Amino acid sequence: MGPIKGIKKRKRVAEKKVDQNVLDAAAAASLRGGSLPPLDWWDEFSQRISGPLLDSKEPKTVESILRVSRKTFNYICSLVKDDFTSRPANFSDSNGKPLSLNDRVAIALRRLGSGESLSIIGESFGMNQSTVSQITWRFVESMEDKGLKHLSWPAKSDEVKSKFEKISGLPNCCGAIDITHIVMNLPAVEPSNKVWLDSEKNYSMILQAVVDPDMRFLDVIAGWPGSLSDDVVLKNSGFYKLVEKGKRLNGESLRLSEGTELREYIVGDSGFPLLPWLLTPYQGKPMSSSQTEFNKRHSEARKVAEMAMARLKEMWRIINGVMWMPDRNRLPRIILVCCLLHNILIDLDDKVLDGLTVSHQHDMSYRQRKCKFGDELASNMRDKLCLHFTCGEMSLKL
Protein backbone atom coordinates (compact mmCIF):
# COMPACT_ATOMS: atom_id res chain seq x y z
CA MET A 1 0.00 0.00 0.00
CA GLY A 2 3.00 2.31 0.52
CA PRO A 3 3.63 3.13 -3.18
CA ILE A 4 -0.09 3.74 -3.77
CA LYS A 5 -0.24 6.28 -0.95
CA GLY A 6 2.81 8.01 -2.37
CA ILE A 7 1.18 8.35 -5.77
CA LYS A 8 -2.00 9.76 -4.25
CA LYS A 9 0.03 12.28 -2.31
CA ARG A 10 1.81 13.47 -5.43
CA LYS A 11 -1.54 13.82 -7.19
CA ARG A 12 -2.84 16.06 -4.38
CA VAL A 13 0.25 18.23 -4.77
CA ALA A 14 -0.27 18.36 -8.55
CA GLU A 15 -3.87 19.45 -8.09
CA LYS A 16 -2.76 22.39 -5.95
CA LYS A 17 -0.33 23.67 -8.59
CA VAL A 18 -2.61 25.32 -11.13
CA ASP A 19 -1.09 26.39 -14.43
CA GLN A 20 -0.13 30.08 -14.38
CA ASN A 21 -2.00 30.70 -17.62
CA VAL A 22 -5.23 29.62 -15.90
CA LEU A 23 -4.58 31.96 -12.96
CA ASP A 24 -3.89 34.86 -15.31
CA ALA A 25 -7.08 34.16 -17.26
CA ALA A 26 -9.10 34.02 -14.02
CA ALA A 27 -7.67 37.34 -12.81
CA ALA A 28 -8.43 39.00 -16.15
CA ALA A 29 -11.97 37.64 -16.11
CA SER A 30 -12.65 38.94 -12.60
CA LEU A 31 -11.40 42.40 -13.54
CA ARG A 32 -13.76 42.42 -16.52
CA GLY A 33 -16.56 41.08 -14.42
CA GLY A 34 -16.85 38.22 -16.86
CA SER A 35 -16.78 34.46 -16.46
CA LEU A 36 -13.69 32.23 -16.70
CA PRO A 37 -13.17 31.01 -20.27
CA PRO A 38 -13.07 27.23 -20.77
CA LEU A 39 -9.69 25.58 -20.44
CA ASP A 40 -8.02 24.62 -23.67
CA TRP A 41 -6.67 21.08 -24.01
CA TRP A 42 -3.09 21.87 -22.94
CA ASP A 43 -4.17 23.87 -19.87
CA GLU A 44 -6.15 20.88 -18.66
CA PHE A 45 -3.52 18.31 -19.65
CA SER A 46 -0.64 20.20 -18.02
CA GLN A 47 -2.49 20.23 -14.68
CA ARG A 48 -2.37 16.44 -14.63
CA ILE A 49 1.44 16.39 -14.78
CA SER A 50 3.00 14.84 -11.68
CA GLY A 51 6.20 13.13 -10.56
CA PRO A 52 9.56 14.36 -11.93
CA LEU A 53 7.95 16.69 -14.46
CA LEU A 54 5.98 18.46 -11.73
CA ASP A 55 9.14 19.12 -9.71
CA SER A 56 11.01 20.56 -12.69
CA LYS A 57 11.57 24.31 -12.72
CA GLU A 58 11.04 24.42 -16.48
CA PRO A 59 7.76 26.01 -17.67
CA LYS A 60 5.09 23.42 -18.47
CA THR A 61 4.62 24.43 -22.11
CA VAL A 62 3.91 22.26 -25.14
CA GLU A 63 7.40 23.09 -26.45
CA SER A 64 9.25 22.17 -23.25
CA ILE A 65 7.31 18.96 -22.56
CA LEU A 66 6.73 17.60 -26.08
CA ARG A 67 9.67 19.26 -27.93
CA VAL A 68 7.43 20.53 -30.75
CA SER A 69 5.39 23.69 -31.25
CA ARG A 70 1.63 23.71 -30.81
CA LYS A 71 1.25 24.13 -34.59
CA THR A 72 3.33 21.02 -35.25
CA PHE A 73 1.54 19.11 -32.52
CA ASN A 74 -1.84 19.87 -34.08
CA TYR A 75 -0.56 18.77 -37.50
CA ILE A 76 0.74 15.46 -36.12
CA CYS A 77 -2.62 14.88 -34.44
CA SER A 78 -4.34 15.43 -37.80
CA LEU A 79 -2.09 12.79 -39.41
CA VAL A 80 -2.95 10.02 -36.96
CA LYS A 81 -6.54 11.02 -36.19
CA ASP A 82 -8.23 8.64 -38.64
CA ASP A 83 -6.14 5.66 -37.53
CA PHE A 84 -6.73 6.38 -33.87
CA THR A 85 -10.48 6.81 -34.28
CA SER A 86 -11.00 3.90 -36.67
CA ARG A 87 -9.37 1.52 -34.19
CA PRO A 88 -10.86 2.63 -30.88
CA ALA A 89 -9.04 1.60 -27.73
CA ASN A 90 -10.16 1.98 -24.15
CA PHE A 91 -7.12 3.94 -22.98
CA SER A 92 -7.63 5.81 -19.72
CA ASP A 93 -5.58 7.38 -16.96
CA SER A 94 -5.29 6.04 -13.41
CA ASN A 95 -8.51 7.84 -12.47
CA GLY A 96 -10.42 6.05 -15.21
CA LYS A 97 -10.73 9.16 -17.39
CA PRO A 98 -10.64 8.28 -21.12
CA LEU A 99 -7.62 9.62 -22.99
CA SER A 100 -8.37 11.92 -25.91
CA LEU A 101 -6.53 11.91 -29.23
CA ASN A 102 -4.43 14.86 -28.03
CA ASP A 103 -3.63 13.06 -24.78
CA ARG A 104 -2.38 9.97 -26.60
CA VAL A 105 -0.27 11.90 -29.11
CA ALA A 106 1.26 13.93 -26.26
CA ILE A 107 2.18 10.76 -24.37
CA ALA A 108 3.78 9.19 -27.46
CA LEU A 109 5.75 12.35 -28.31
CA ARG A 110 6.98 12.60 -24.73
CA ARG A 111 8.15 9.00 -24.84
CA LEU A 112 9.99 9.46 -28.15
CA GLY A 113 11.33 12.92 -27.37
CA SER A 114 12.51 12.42 -23.80
CA GLY A 115 13.71 8.84 -23.93
CA GLU A 116 12.42 8.40 -20.39
CA SER A 117 11.37 4.95 -19.25
CA LEU A 118 7.79 3.74 -19.51
CA SER A 119 7.45 3.89 -15.74
CA ILE A 120 8.62 7.53 -15.52
CA ILE A 121 6.29 8.58 -18.35
CA GLY A 122 3.44 6.74 -16.65
CA GLU A 123 4.16 8.41 -13.33
CA SER A 124 4.36 11.84 -14.98
CA PHE A 125 0.99 11.51 -16.73
CA GLY A 126 -0.88 9.35 -14.25
CA MET A 127 -1.15 5.97 -15.99
CA ASN A 128 0.48 2.56 -15.93
CA GLN A 129 3.48 1.79 -18.11
CA SER A 130 1.57 -0.79 -20.16
CA THR A 131 -0.78 1.97 -21.34
CA VAL A 132 2.20 4.19 -22.25
CA SER A 133 3.75 1.32 -24.23
CA GLN A 134 0.55 0.52 -26.15
CA ILE A 135 -0.14 4.18 -26.98
CA THR A 136 3.43 4.76 -28.18
CA TRP A 137 3.38 1.71 -30.43
CA ARG A 138 -0.03 2.62 -31.86
CA PHE A 139 1.40 6.06 -32.66
CA VAL A 140 4.49 4.56 -34.34
CA GLU A 141 2.35 2.25 -36.48
CA SER A 142 0.20 5.14 -37.63
CA MET A 143 3.04 7.59 -38.25
CA GLU A 144 5.14 5.22 -40.35
CA ASP A 145 2.19 5.11 -42.74
CA LYS A 146 0.66 8.59 -42.56
CA GLY A 147 3.94 10.47 -42.15
CA LEU A 148 5.83 8.74 -44.94
CA LYS A 149 5.00 11.54 -47.38
CA HIS A 150 7.55 13.63 -45.50
CA LEU A 151 10.37 11.31 -46.60
CA SER A 152 10.95 11.40 -50.35
CA TRP A 153 13.63 11.88 -52.96
CA PRO A 154 13.16 15.29 -54.60
CA ALA A 155 11.47 15.13 -57.99
CA LYS A 156 13.65 18.05 -59.10
CA SER A 157 17.12 18.24 -57.63
CA ASP A 158 18.12 21.66 -59.02
CA GLU A 159 17.42 23.49 -55.75
CA VAL A 160 19.25 20.85 -53.72
CA LYS A 161 22.29 21.02 -56.00
CA SER A 162 22.29 24.82 -55.95
CA LYS A 163 22.28 24.89 -52.13
CA PHE A 164 25.09 22.33 -51.91
CA GLU A 165 27.18 24.38 -54.32
CA LYS A 166 26.52 27.50 -52.27
CA ILE A 167 27.58 25.70 -49.07
CA SER A 168 30.67 23.95 -50.39
CA GLY A 169 31.38 24.91 -53.98
CA LEU A 170 30.79 21.32 -55.10
CA PRO A 171 28.74 21.32 -58.34
CA ASN A 172 26.00 18.78 -59.12
CA CYS A 173 25.99 17.32 -55.59
CA CYS A 174 22.60 15.85 -54.60
CA GLY A 175 23.11 14.73 -51.01
CA ALA A 176 25.38 13.73 -48.15
CA ILE A 177 25.36 10.23 -46.65
CA ASP A 178 26.27 9.17 -43.12
CA ILE A 179 25.63 6.42 -40.61
CA THR A 180 25.07 6.50 -36.86
CA HIS A 181 24.80 3.80 -34.18
CA ILE A 182 21.77 3.25 -31.96
CA VAL A 183 23.35 1.66 -28.89
CA MET A 184 21.54 -1.14 -27.06
CA ASN A 185 22.00 -3.03 -23.81
CA LEU A 186 21.71 -6.73 -24.66
CA PRO A 187 22.56 -9.87 -22.61
CA ALA A 188 26.13 -10.87 -23.43
CA VAL A 189 25.39 -14.50 -22.52
CA GLU A 190 23.00 -14.84 -25.46
CA PRO A 191 25.11 -16.17 -28.43
CA SER A 192 22.79 -14.67 -31.06
CA ASN A 193 23.52 -11.17 -29.76
CA LYS A 194 27.15 -11.29 -30.94
CA VAL A 195 26.12 -10.09 -34.40
CA TRP A 196 25.11 -6.76 -32.83
CA LEU A 197 28.54 -6.22 -31.22
CA ASP A 198 30.28 -3.41 -33.10
CA SER A 199 33.91 -2.29 -33.42
CA GLU A 200 33.69 -0.26 -30.21
CA LYS A 201 32.39 -3.26 -28.24
CA ASN A 202 28.86 -1.85 -28.03
CA TYR A 203 25.71 -3.66 -29.05
CA SER A 204 24.21 -1.39 -31.68
CA MET A 205 21.89 -1.00 -34.66
CA ILE A 206 22.87 1.11 -37.66
CA LEU A 207 20.94 3.97 -39.21
CA GLN A 208 22.10 5.07 -42.67
CA ALA A 209 20.69 8.29 -44.11
CA VAL A 210 21.07 10.53 -47.16
CA VAL A 211 20.50 14.19 -46.28
CA ASP A 212 19.81 17.39 -48.23
CA PRO A 213 21.39 20.82 -47.50
CA ASP A 214 18.54 21.69 -45.08
CA MET A 215 19.39 18.62 -42.95
CA ARG A 216 16.24 16.92 -44.22
CA PHE A 217 16.36 13.14 -44.62
CA LEU A 218 15.89 12.00 -48.23
CA ASP A 219 16.47 8.28 -47.73
CA VAL A 220 16.90 6.20 -44.57
CA ILE A 221 17.55 2.57 -43.76
CA ALA A 222 17.70 1.14 -40.24
CA GLY A 223 17.98 -2.33 -38.76
CA TRP A 224 21.41 -3.61 -39.78
CA PRO A 225 23.67 -4.87 -36.95
CA GLY A 226 26.43 -2.55 -35.75
CA SER A 227 29.02 -5.23 -36.52
CA LEU A 228 28.70 -4.48 -40.25
CA SER A 229 30.94 -1.92 -41.96
CA ASP A 230 29.53 1.18 -43.65
CA ASP A 231 30.23 -0.15 -47.15
CA VAL A 232 28.43 -3.45 -46.46
CA VAL A 233 25.35 -1.62 -45.14
CA LEU A 234 25.38 0.67 -48.19
CA LYS A 235 25.63 -2.16 -50.71
CA ASN A 236 22.71 -3.97 -49.09
CA SER A 237 20.48 -0.89 -48.99
CA GLY A 238 17.57 -0.11 -51.26
CA PHE A 239 19.19 3.23 -52.10
CA TYR A 240 22.28 1.49 -53.55
CA LYS A 241 20.11 -0.79 -55.68
CA LEU A 242 18.03 2.14 -56.98
CA VAL A 243 21.15 4.07 -58.00
CA GLU A 244 22.70 1.06 -59.69
CA LYS A 245 19.47 0.57 -61.65
CA GLY A 246 19.54 4.19 -62.78
CA LYS A 247 16.51 5.24 -60.72
CA ARG A 248 18.39 7.63 -58.40
CA LEU A 249 21.05 10.24 -59.17
CA ASN A 250 19.96 9.97 -62.79
CA GLY A 251 19.56 13.67 -63.58
CA GLU A 252 21.51 15.74 -66.09
CA SER A 253 25.28 15.65 -66.02
CA LEU A 254 27.16 18.90 -65.62
CA ARG A 255 29.77 19.84 -68.19
CA LEU A 256 32.85 21.19 -66.45
CA SER A 257 35.06 23.85 -67.98
CA GLU A 258 37.59 21.20 -69.01
CA GLY A 259 35.01 19.32 -71.08
CA THR A 260 34.51 16.61 -68.45
CA GLU A 261 30.96 15.55 -67.70
CA LEU A 262 30.14 15.31 -64.00
CA ARG A 263 27.16 13.09 -63.18
CA GLU A 264 24.91 13.59 -60.17
CA TYR A 265 26.46 12.21 -56.98
CA ILE A 266 26.41 12.27 -53.19
CA VAL A 267 29.30 12.69 -50.74
CA GLY A 268 30.30 10.44 -47.85
CA ASP A 269 33.21 9.96 -45.46
CA SER A 270 36.09 7.51 -45.93
CA GLY A 271 34.07 4.67 -44.39
CA PHE A 272 32.15 4.46 -47.66
CA PRO A 273 33.50 3.14 -50.98
CA LEU A 274 34.55 5.58 -53.68
CA LEU A 275 31.98 5.14 -56.47
CA PRO A 276 31.06 7.11 -59.62
CA TRP A 277 28.01 8.40 -57.73
CA LEU A 278 29.54 8.54 -54.22
CA LEU A 279 32.60 10.71 -53.79
CA THR A 280 34.76 10.24 -50.70
CA PRO A 281 37.72 12.37 -49.54
CA TYR A 282 41.33 11.77 -50.52
CA GLN A 283 43.24 9.72 -47.98
CA GLY A 284 46.89 9.54 -47.03
CA LYS A 285 49.69 12.09 -47.21
CA PRO A 286 51.20 14.07 -48.79
CA MET A 287 48.35 15.69 -50.71
CA SER A 288 48.48 18.21 -53.50
CA SER A 289 46.94 21.65 -52.95
CA SER A 290 44.02 20.73 -55.23
CA GLN A 291 43.36 17.53 -53.26
CA THR A 292 43.44 19.49 -50.01
CA GLU A 293 41.01 21.99 -51.49
CA PHE A 294 38.68 19.20 -52.60
CA ASN A 295 38.72 17.63 -49.13
CA LYS A 296 37.90 20.98 -47.57
CA ARG A 297 34.90 21.50 -49.86
CA HIS A 298 33.87 17.87 -49.43
CA SER A 299 33.90 18.24 -45.64
CA GLU A 300 31.63 21.30 -45.81
CA ALA A 301 29.07 19.40 -47.89
CA ARG A 302 29.26 16.33 -45.67
CA LYS A 303 28.72 18.36 -42.50
CA VAL A 304 24.97 18.65 -43.11
CA ALA A 305 24.57 14.88 -42.72
CA GLU A 306 26.59 14.89 -39.50
CA MET A 307 24.49 17.74 -38.09
CA ALA A 308 21.24 16.05 -39.15
CA MET A 309 22.19 12.88 -37.28
CA ALA A 310 23.20 14.89 -34.21
CA ARG A 311 19.92 16.84 -34.27
CA LEU A 312 17.90 13.65 -34.73
CA LYS A 313 19.41 12.13 -31.60
CA GLU A 314 19.10 15.37 -29.65
CA MET A 315 15.43 15.85 -30.52
CA TRP A 316 14.29 12.22 -30.25
CA ARG A 317 16.19 10.92 -27.27
CA ILE A 318 14.61 7.49 -27.29
CA ILE A 319 17.35 6.59 -29.83
CA ASN A 320 20.08 8.43 -27.95
CA GLY A 321 22.12 6.94 -25.14
CA VAL A 322 21.76 3.22 -24.44
CA MET A 323 18.44 1.49 -25.05
CA TRP A 324 17.56 -1.20 -22.53
CA MET A 325 16.95 -4.51 -24.33
CA PRO A 326 14.74 -3.12 -27.12
CA ASP A 327 12.57 -5.21 -29.40
CA ARG A 328 14.91 -5.43 -32.42
CA ASN A 329 11.99 -6.01 -34.78
CA ARG A 330 10.24 -2.85 -33.66
CA LEU A 331 13.29 -0.63 -33.21
CA PRO A 332 13.86 0.07 -36.96
CA ARG A 333 10.27 1.29 -37.19
CA ILE A 334 10.74 3.56 -34.18
CA ILE A 335 13.91 4.97 -35.79
CA LEU A 336 12.03 5.61 -39.03
CA VAL A 337 9.26 7.50 -37.22
CA CYS A 338 11.87 9.63 -35.43
CA CYS A 339 13.29 10.49 -38.89
CA LEU A 340 9.79 11.37 -40.14
CA LEU A 341 9.21 13.63 -37.13
CA HIS A 342 12.61 15.23 -37.78
CA ASN A 343 11.50 16.07 -41.34
CA ILE A 344 8.09 17.30 -40.23
CA LEU A 345 9.69 19.88 -37.94
CA ILE A 346 11.78 21.12 -40.88
CA ASP A 347 8.85 21.09 -43.32
CA LEU A 348 6.68 23.07 -40.90
CA ASP A 349 9.55 25.46 -40.06
CA ASP A 350 9.06 24.69 -36.37
CA LYS A 351 10.61 27.43 -34.21
CA VAL A 352 11.67 24.81 -31.65
CA LEU A 353 14.59 24.09 -33.98
CA ASP A 354 15.88 27.65 -33.52
CA GLY A 355 16.69 26.92 -29.88
CA LEU A 356 18.83 23.85 -30.61
CA THR A 357 22.60 24.03 -30.57
CA VAL A 358 24.12 22.98 -33.88
CA SER A 359 26.50 20.05 -33.49
CA HIS A 360 27.94 17.45 -35.82
CA GLN A 361 28.89 14.96 -33.08
CA HIS A 362 26.50 12.01 -33.14
CA ASP A 363 28.84 9.02 -32.73
CA MET A 364 31.45 10.54 -30.43
CA SER A 365 32.80 7.24 -29.08
CA TYR A 366 33.27 5.77 -32.56
CA ARG A 367 36.51 5.96 -34.52
CA GLN A 368 36.40 6.47 -38.27
CA ARG A 369 36.79 3.21 -40.16
CA LYS A 370 38.35 3.30 -43.61
CA CYS A 371 37.05 1.62 -46.73
CA LYS A 372 39.87 0.68 -49.09
CA PHE A 373 37.68 0.05 -52.13
CA GLY A 374 37.97 2.66 -54.86
CA ASP A 375 36.42 2.57 -58.31
CA GLU A 376 38.85 3.71 -61.04
CA LEU A 377 36.16 5.64 -62.94
CA ALA A 378 35.17 7.40 -59.71
CA SER A 379 38.81 8.18 -58.94
CA ASN A 380 39.22 9.81 -62.36
CA MET A 381 36.05 11.80 -61.88
CA ARG A 382 37.24 13.07 -58.50
CA ASP A 383 40.60 14.06 -60.01
CA LYS A 384 38.83 15.98 -62.80
CA LEU A 385 36.76 17.80 -60.18
CA CYS A 386 39.98 18.77 -58.40
CA LEU A 387 41.33 20.09 -61.69
CA HIS A 388 38.10 22.06 -62.14
CA PHE A 389 38.74 23.87 -58.83
CA THR A 390 42.38 24.53 -59.76
CA CYS A 391 41.47 25.93 -63.16
CA GLY A 392 38.76 28.05 -61.58
CA GLU A 393 41.25 29.61 -59.16
CA MET A 394 43.72 30.24 -61.99
CA SER A 395 41.08 31.99 -64.11
CA LEU A 396 40.17 34.22 -61.15
CA LYS A 397 43.81 35.19 -60.71
CA LEU A 398 44.09 36.04 -64.41
What does the pLDDT read at residue 7?
39
Residues 250 and 126 in one domain: no
153 lies in some domain: no
- For residue 81, what is the enclosing H or E element? helix 70-86
What is the number of domains present in the chain?
A: 2
Can you give the pLDDT at residue 391? 65
pLDDT at residue 392, as a whole number: 52
The DSSP result for 16-50, as a single string, is HS--HHHHHHHHHHHHHT-PPPPPPHHHHHHHT--
The answer as to whether 354 is a domain residue is: yes
Same domain, 101 and 179: no
247 with 178, same domain: the answer is: yes
Q: Does one domain contain both 320 and 390?
A: yes
Reported as a single tens digit per residue, the pLDDT across 197-218 is: 999 999 999 999 999 999 999 9
Local confidence band at 87 (pLDDT 50, 70, 90 cut-offs)? confident
Q: Are 320 and 232 in a shared domain?
A: yes
pLDDT over threshold 70, residue 312: yes
Domain span holding position 94: 2-146
Residue 393 pLDDT: 44
Q: Which of 35-49, 70-84, 87-101: highest mean pLDDT?
A: 70-84
Looking at the structure, do residues 87 and 211 belong to the same domain, yes or no? no
Q: What is the mean pLDDT of residues 226-239?
A: 96
Non-local (6+) Cβ contacts of 370 within 8 A are 270, 271, 283
Contacts with 59 (C-beta within 8 Å, 6 or more apart), sequence order: none
Question: Is it the case that residue 1 has pLDDT exceeding 90?
Answer: no
Over residues 345-352, the mean pLDDT reads 96
pLDDT mean over 327-337: 96
CA proximity to 53, closest of 21, 24, 17, 26: 17
**Segment 47-65, tens digit of pLDDT:** 888 877 777 777 789 999 9
Model pLDDT for residues 321-330, shown as the tens digit of each residue = 899 899 999 9
pLDDT category at 28 given cuts 50, 70, 90 is very low
- Per the CB < 8 A criterion, the answer to whether 152 and 218 are in contact is yes
**Same domain as 189, residue 62:** no
Q: In terms of pLDDT, which residue wins out, 98 or 56? A: 98
**Domain boundary, last residue among 146, 170, 191:** 146
Mean of pLDDT values over 132-143: 97
Q: Clarify whether residues 206 and 245 are in a common domain.
A: yes
Last residue of a domain, one of 88, 120, 146: 146
* Same domain membership, residue 357 and residue 216: yes
Per the CB < 8 A criterion, the answer to whether 326 and 118 are in contact is no
Single residue among 120, 146, 172 that ends a domain in this structure:
146
Asked whether residue 6 falls in the same domain as residue 127, the answer is: yes
Residues 119 and 265 in one domain: no
